Every structure is written in structure tokens, then in C-alpha cells.
């Protein structure tokens, strides 16, 4: 059964317009209402001094526990650098067929790569990342279609190449859920 | 593609197992987890994993030891060693032991994706390669040698047993009995099947041409030798050389052939470099080689060198019970190649084929069936479609009525059942012809 709502939890300072645009795009893609809330969470317990990054597994558990709405998918959006123990970094993480996900804009910013700040590009990348992780929550796996939002991305360039949308095959899989 | 590949993660750290599990699940892989080498080996006893990602430092049996045991269980499994303690020594040792690759924790996500994708590609290519090898084997199977007669079953049994050996073979039999088919069957069922089968029709070449054909030549060796050219023995390296009509080669060639067979090395025409080649020899002849040895026309030493195994293929007239099977095989073969519906053969035509002598053996029968399919009505092969059909009708010793019936029918068919023209040809009036049609219950075949 599909959850009847999606909650975008902003865990850090984000402009409302930025969150609103992401929520609208996700709503359009998954055809369920998307609301956003701001959560001024203290991230210190999730920080790994050895890695100088934040543990995405712990943040995922935290986001999952923070929502009492059983009928909602919850995605936490962060500004900090995320990692999982085995990988040097991640853009986001989700529970496949689960109800929670996390994503970060830390490595989606142009400045990270010594390039000029570009807000429109950041919004586009963040939107794709949020939709991608939510797609996993809905049970979709990585897609081989170049432009599908469910295509695996390990570099920002990969994210830029894909669209905000599910390809027809993933759309069909989503509709069957 | 990805959902067909299974991955087993072996690591004592739960967070590593879970992280990798989640990562691969999102890629659609079938993922298993084990917290130590012992459990991993237990899991591998009950099911197969294509790729194993194993930590090098684990309590109890370490990743390197586990890798060695996995290789002993199934050498096709791809093992990728992970460690947080990178060192060149362990990396080299892991690769020496046959590990697919070696990665240090934590991995760059892109490196991990590439590594697994490449390993998955290798697995699929290997599977595809195996499937193609199977397909090639099937294509060249002994299935082309059709028959259930005792004589042909004996040949098939000989083919099966001789294929596994490396011995020289002489195949004897009349022209058209399928000597080359037998040679192909031996080659395609032998360990040499993935290497070439090179055929040389010795009877079709002059002595000098045969020499150049078999041994190759160097540029400028003779007029017209503009390039270096590999000989058939060289081309057959690893495979089989089939020398058809071996009895036709000259005395000089017999000497040279004997030397090549004994040393498995030769020199190209006009060259001075000794070339070695690992080939198996299969020869064929329709002559009595033993008789030729007695009469001094074939070297005895060469005969014994070649005649390690002798396979004698019986002529078709000695295995007439195979004719219906062969006929059906050729009908299916030619109907398929001509994209036609499968047709049948009328009993009278088949009976005549079974009684025919077939001096040209199976080849003659095959040609007859092909011709009959081309000229026939597209539904059934009739006696008249066979080359000996007319003769069979004319030489019939059946009753006068039967003869009259066949003749009237033949004339009617000749004039497309135009009764007036047929009656004129038969020199009878139309009423008489109608009476004959009624009497013999003749019907126009559409």
C-alpha cells in the first residue's frame, strides 16, 4: 500500500522557497501530497570526528523515529557531509521499501568543486536526489536509463545528466505498487 | 541484468554489512550477508553466489584463507578482498591467489559501482561464452549422421570412442557415403573442437600445388608467390586436418607427409625455418589402400602411420532401412532452407527409393530429394518427381490395367487435364477418355 503523504524534514537552514519547490516537484512525480517541516536538530551525536562527516545510517534511524505518522514517507534534507562506514561519502540514503530516507546538499553545491555558486543548479540536483531516495522508499531500484531519475549517481555530473522524472518503465513499476 | 547477479558480503562489522547490503539492494542485486568466514562457507555449501566481497581481517579464519577455500569449492566465483589495512604485499598476495580485485575501506562510491559492474559484466560474458560454445557443439554434433541401422550405429559408436583420442583415422567408404561428415563429427566431439578443422581435397590439386597448400610458402618461392602464405598444417594448429582422397597423392608427397606426421614440423616451400604445429590427421579414401600398399602404389609406413583407426562407412544399399529416416531428414532440411511448409513423400515413391541401388549413396539421395522438392507440387513428393520415377513407371511389371491407368494419368497431367487434348494424344475419343477417368477413379491433383 502506498503511503498517502510525504514529509520533507529540513534539518538545517534552508530557504522556504527552496523547500517548497522541491516539495512541489516530488508531489508532481509521486502524485501524493508533500509537506515540509523544519526541524532544528542538534547534529553533534551524528558527527564522526575520525571521518569529519555525519553518519547517514544513524541519521536515517533518527528520521525514521522522529515521525509518528505511519502513513507518511519521511525524508530528511541536510546541509552536512554524509557517509556510511564503507563508503567515503554519499549523496543520500534510503530504506528500500521503507518509509524513511536522508539526502544532503553538501556535495551538490558547485562551490564544493571550486566552481561558481549556482542556486538553480543546486535546486535541480537537490530535487533529483530527494525524488531518487523517495523512489527507493517506494520500492524502485536503480534504473539503467540514462535520463531516469532512478539512475545511480556517484558524481554530481551523473545527477546533472538525468531528469527529475521516472522513465516509463519505472513509472509503470511505481504505478503497480 | 543486475537482478541475476548475487553478491555475498562477508565482514565482521555489522555496519559494513548493512551499508553494503543497502547499497547493492538499491542496484537490484541479490545480496547475502555473513559475519565471518565460517558462516560464509556454510552459506556457499547451500547456494551459489557470483561475487563475494570479503573482509581481510576477521576473527577466526581471515579473508585470504577463506578466499583459498572458496576457490577450491568453485573457481568461477569472483572474490573481491576488502581491507582497512592496505598494503601492497596483501594486495599482491590476494591477486596471486586469484582474487578479482582488492579494495581498501572506505571505498569511493564510484569505484565500488565500477568494480561490481565490471565483475557482473565478466560473469555475463563468461555465461554467454559457455552458451555459445554449447551452441557450436550442438551445430557440429553427430546429429547430421542419420540412421538406425546396425551398420551406421557401429560407425557412430566408433566416432564417439575415437573422438576422445588423438589417433590418426582413416575413413573408408564409397563416394557419397558421408566420409567428410564422419570426419567433422570426430573433430566436433574431440577436445580439439574449439580449434579449426581444415579440409584438403588432395585429389583436386596437382603435386606442386598440394605441397604449397599443405606446407605454405614464402614470398618469391615460385612464380606467383607474391606473399608469405600459411599452409593447411599450420592453420590446423590445435585442431584437425582432414585429407580427403589421400590415395591420390604422389609418392613424393607420401614421403613428405610421413615426415610431417612423425615430427609434427615442416618447412614452408621456399623457406628455411622449421614450423611446428599440433594437429590431428583424419584421412578419407574410396579406394582400397591396403591393396594399393600390396601393389606398391602407397607407402606401407605411411599407411600404418595413418591407419591407427579405420572407420568403414557402409554404402546406402547395405542400410536401406535408413532410407526413410534420411528422406525425412532431407525433406526437413530443404523445406526449411527454402522456407517452405514441410511436405511428405508418397508411399510408392519411398518404396522405389528403398529399392534403388544408389551408386552415389547418401549424396545422390540428398540431391534427389532436393530436386523433388524444387520441381514437385509443394505438398507431397511423387514418384514422377524422382529421376528414376519415369523409368520405374515405364519398366513396371504390373497389370495391363495398372499400366493403362498410369499412362492415362500421365497424359492428363501433361496436358493439365485438358480432356480434348489428352484424348487426341491418346488417340481415343473424349467419351472413351471420360470412361477411363471414371474407371480408374482418376482425379486432378491441385
Sequence-ordered alpha helix ranges (H) in B164-243: 179-188, 207-215, 232-235
Is A3 catalytic? The answer is no
Spatial separation of the C-alpha atoms in residues B275 and B307, rounded to whole Å? 25
Spatial separation of the C-alpha atoms in residues B116 and B126, rounded to whole Å? 15
**Grid cell locating B192:** 580439439
- Contact in structure between B70 and B28 (CB atoms under 8 Å): no
Q: How many residues can be counted in chain B?
A: 446
Distance from CA of A17 to the nearest CA of B (A): 30
Closest CA to B74 of B103, B102, B42, B50: B50
Domains of chain A, earliest start first = 5-176 (3.40.390.10)
Q: What's the Cα-to-Cα distance from B334 to each of B287, B331, B372, rounded to whole Å?
A: 31, 5, 10
ipTM of this model?
Answer: 0.79
Identify the bridge partners of residue B6 per DSSP, sorted by sequence position.
B30
Kind and range of the H or E element at A36?
strand A34-38
Number of Cβ within 10 Å of residue B149's Cβ equals: 17
Contacts of B136 (CB under 8 A, 6+ apart): B193, B194
Domains of chain B, earliest start first = 2-135 (3.40.50.2300), 143-314 (3.40.50.300), 315-395 (1.10.8.60), 399-446 (1.10.10.60)
Pairs across A and B, CB distance < 8 A: 63
A142 and B107 within 8 Å at the Cβ level: the answer is: no
At residue B243, φ and ψ (nearest 5 deg) are -100, 100
pLDDT value at A12 more than 50:
yes
Kind and range of the H or E element at A35?
strand A34-38
The pLDDT of residue B340 is 84
The pLDDT of residue B26 is 87
Blockwise average pLDDT, block size 10, chain B, 446 residues: 76 88 88 92 88 87 85 84 72 81 85 89 86 61 75 89 91 91 89 89 86 86 78 91 93 91 89 89 92 92 92 92 90 87 89 87 90 85 78 59 85 87 89 90 78
Taking the CA atoms of B418, B420, B426 and B429 in sequence, report the sign of the dihedral they define.
positive
Spatial separation of the C-alpha atoms in residues A150 and A159, rounded to whole Å? 10
Q: Mean pLDDT, to the nearest integer, of A135-140?
A: 94
The pLDDT of residue B389 is 58
Spatial separation of the C-alpha atoms in residues B19 and B16, rounded to whole Å? 5
Spatial separation of the C-alpha atoms in residues B304 and B313, rounded to whole Å? 19
The pLDDT of residue B85 is 62
Contacts of B383 (CB under 8 A, 6+ apart): B346, B348, B349, B352, B389, B392, B393
The pLDDT of residue B3 is 47
Phi and psi based region of residue A78 (left: phi greater than 0; alpha: psi -120 to 50; beta: remaining): beta
Q: Answer whether B15 touches A (CB < 8 Å).
A: yes
- Contact in structure between B197 and B141 (CB atoms under 8 Å): no
**Grid cell locating B353:** 527409393
Distance from CA of A51 to the nearest CA of B (A): 10
Spatial separation of the C-alpha atoms in residues B444 and B377, rounded to whole Å? 12
Closest CA to B2 of B29, B31, B37: B29
Q: Answer whether A57 touches B (CB < 8 Å).
A: yes
Q: What does pLDDT average to over chain A?
A: 93
Interface test with chain A among B11, B26, B103, by most A beta carbons within 10 Å: B26
The residue from A133, A157, A169, A172 that is catalytic is A133
Describe the strand order of the beta sheet including A87-90 as a list of residue ranges: A47-48, A53-55, A82-84, A87-90
**Grid cell locating A128:** 533529483
Q: What's the Cα-to-Cα distance from B40 to each of A86, B61, B99, B103, B299, rounded to whole Å?
A: 19, 11, 16, 19, 65
The pLDDT of residue B2 is 41
Sort out which chain B residues have CB atoms less than 8 A from A94's CB and list them. 26
pTM above 0.90, yes or no: no
Interface test with chain A among B14, B16, B18, B19, by most A beta carbons within 10 Å: B19
Which of B19, B82, B108 comes nearest A57 by C-beta?
B19
Interface test with chain A among B18, B81, B106, by most A beta carbons within 10 Å: B106
**Grid cell locating B401:** 490395367
**A residues 128..157 contacting B (CB < 8 A):** 136, 141-142, 144, 152, 154-155
The pLDDT of residue B1 is 42
Identify the bridge partners of residue B230 per DSSP, sorted by sequence position.
B216
Spatial separation of the C-alpha atoms in residues A9 and A36, rounded to whole Å? 6
Sort out which chain A residues have CB atoms less than 8 A from B110's CB and list them. 154-155
Spatial separation of the C-alpha atoms in residues B306 and B170, rounded to whole Å? 6
Amino acid at each position: 500500500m502506498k503511503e498517502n503523504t510525504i514529509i520533507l524534514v529540513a534539518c538545517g537552514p534552508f530557504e522556504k522557497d527552496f523547500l517548497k519547490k522541491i516539495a512541489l516537484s516530488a508531489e508532481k512525480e509521486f502524485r501524493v501530497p508533500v509537506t515540509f517541516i523544519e526541524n532544528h536538530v542538534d547534529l553533534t551525536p551524528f558527527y564522526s570526528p575520525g571521518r569529519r562527516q555525519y553518519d547517514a545510517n544513524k541519521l536515517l534511524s533518527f528520521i525514521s523515529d522522529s515521525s509518528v505518522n505511519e502513513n507518511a514517507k519521511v525524508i530528511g534534507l541536510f546541509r552536512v557531509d554524509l557517509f556510511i562506514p564503507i563508503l567515503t561519502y554519499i549523496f543520500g540514503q534510503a530504506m528500500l521499501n521503507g518509509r524513511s530516507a536522508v539526502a544532503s546538499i553538501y556535495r551538490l553545491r558547485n562551490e564544493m568543486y571550486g566552481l561558481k555558486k549556482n542556486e538553480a543548479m543546486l535546486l535541480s540536483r537537490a530535487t533529483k536526489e530527494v525524488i531518487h531516495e523517495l523512489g527507493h522508499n517506494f520500492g524502485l531500484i536503480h534504473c539503467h536509463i540514462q535520463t531516469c531519475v532512478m539512475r545511480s549517481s556517484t558524481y554530481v555530473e551523473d545527477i546533472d545528466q538525468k531528469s527529475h522524472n521516472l522513465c516509463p518503465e519505472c513509472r509503470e513499476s511505481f504505478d503497480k505498487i | 541484468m543486475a537482478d541475476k547477479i548475487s553478491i555475498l558480503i562477508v565482514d565482521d562489522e555489522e555496519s559494513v554489512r548493512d551499508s553494503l547490503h543497502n547499497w547493492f539492494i538499491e542496484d537490484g542485486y541479490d545480496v547475502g550477508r555473513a559475519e565471518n568466514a565460517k558462516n560464509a562457507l556454510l552459506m556457499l555449501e547451500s547456494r551459489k553466489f557470483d561475487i563475494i566481497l570479503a573482509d581481510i581481517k576477521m576473527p577466526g579464519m581471515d579473508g585470504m584463507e577463506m578466499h583459498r577455500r572458496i576457490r577450491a569449492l568453485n573457481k568461477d566465483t569472483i572474490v573481491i578482498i576488502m581491507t582497512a589495512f592496505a598494503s601492497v604485499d596483501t594486495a599482491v598476495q590476494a591477486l596471486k591467489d586469484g582474487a578479482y580485485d582488492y579494495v581498501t575501506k572506505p571505498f569511493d562510491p564510484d569505484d565500488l559501482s565500477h568494480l561490481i559492474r565490471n565483475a557482473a559484466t565478466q560473469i555475463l560474458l563468461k555465461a554467454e561464452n559457455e552458451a555459445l560454445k554449447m551452441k557450436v557443439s550442438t551445430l557440429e554434433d553427430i546429429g547430421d549422421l542419420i540412421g538406425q541401422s546396425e551398420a551406421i550405429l557401429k560407425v557412430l559408436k566408433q566416432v564417439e570412442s575415437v573422438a576422445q583420442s588423438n589417433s590418426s583415422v582413416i575413413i573408408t567408404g564409397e563416394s557419397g557415403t558421408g566420409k567428410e561428415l564422419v570426419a567433422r563429427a570426430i573433430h566436433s566431439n574431440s577436445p580439439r573442437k574449439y580449434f579449426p578443422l581444415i579440409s584438403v581435397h588432395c585429389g583436386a590439386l596437382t603435386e606442386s600445388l598440394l605441397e604449397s597448400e599443405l606446407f605454405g610458402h614464402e614470398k618469391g618461392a615460385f612464380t606467383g608467390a607474391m606473399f608469405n602464405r600459411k599452409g593447411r598444417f599450420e592453420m590446423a594448429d590445435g585442431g584437425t586436418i582432414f585429407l580427403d582422397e589421400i590415395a591420390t597423392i604422389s609418392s613424393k608427397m607420401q614421403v613428405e607427409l610421413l615426415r610431417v606426421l612423425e615430427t609434427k614440423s615442416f618447412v614452408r616451400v621456399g623457406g628455411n625455418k622449421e614450423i611446428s604445429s599440433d594437429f590431428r590427421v583424419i584421412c578419407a579414401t574410396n579406394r582400397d589402400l591396403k591393396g594399393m600398399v600390396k601393389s606398391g602404389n602407397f607407402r606401407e609406413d605411411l599407411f600404418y602411420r595413418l591407419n591407427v583407426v579405420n572407420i568403414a562407412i557402409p554404402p546406402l544399399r547395405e542400410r536401406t532401412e535408413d532410407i526413410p529416416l534420411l528422406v525425412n531428414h532431407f525433406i526437413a532440411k530443404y523445406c526449411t532452407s527454402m522456407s517452405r511448409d514441410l511436405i511428405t513423400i508418397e508411399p510408392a515413391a519411398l518404396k522405389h527409393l528403398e529399392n534403388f541401388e544408389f551408386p552415389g549413396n547418401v549424396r545422390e539421395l540428398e540431391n534427389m530429394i532436393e530436386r523433388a522438392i524444387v520441381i514437385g507440387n509443394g505438398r507431397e513428393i511423387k514418384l514422377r518427381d524422382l529421376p528414376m520415377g519415369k523409368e520405374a513407371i515405364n519398366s513396371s511389371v504390373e497389370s495391363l490395367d495398372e499400366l493403362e491407368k498410369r499412362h492415362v494419368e500421365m497424359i492428363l497431367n501433361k496436358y493439365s487435364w485438358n480432356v480434348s487434348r489428352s484424348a487426341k494424344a491418346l488417340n481415343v475419343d473424349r467419351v472413351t477418355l471420360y470412361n477411363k477417368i471414371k474407371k480408374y477413379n482418376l482425379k486432378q491433383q491441385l
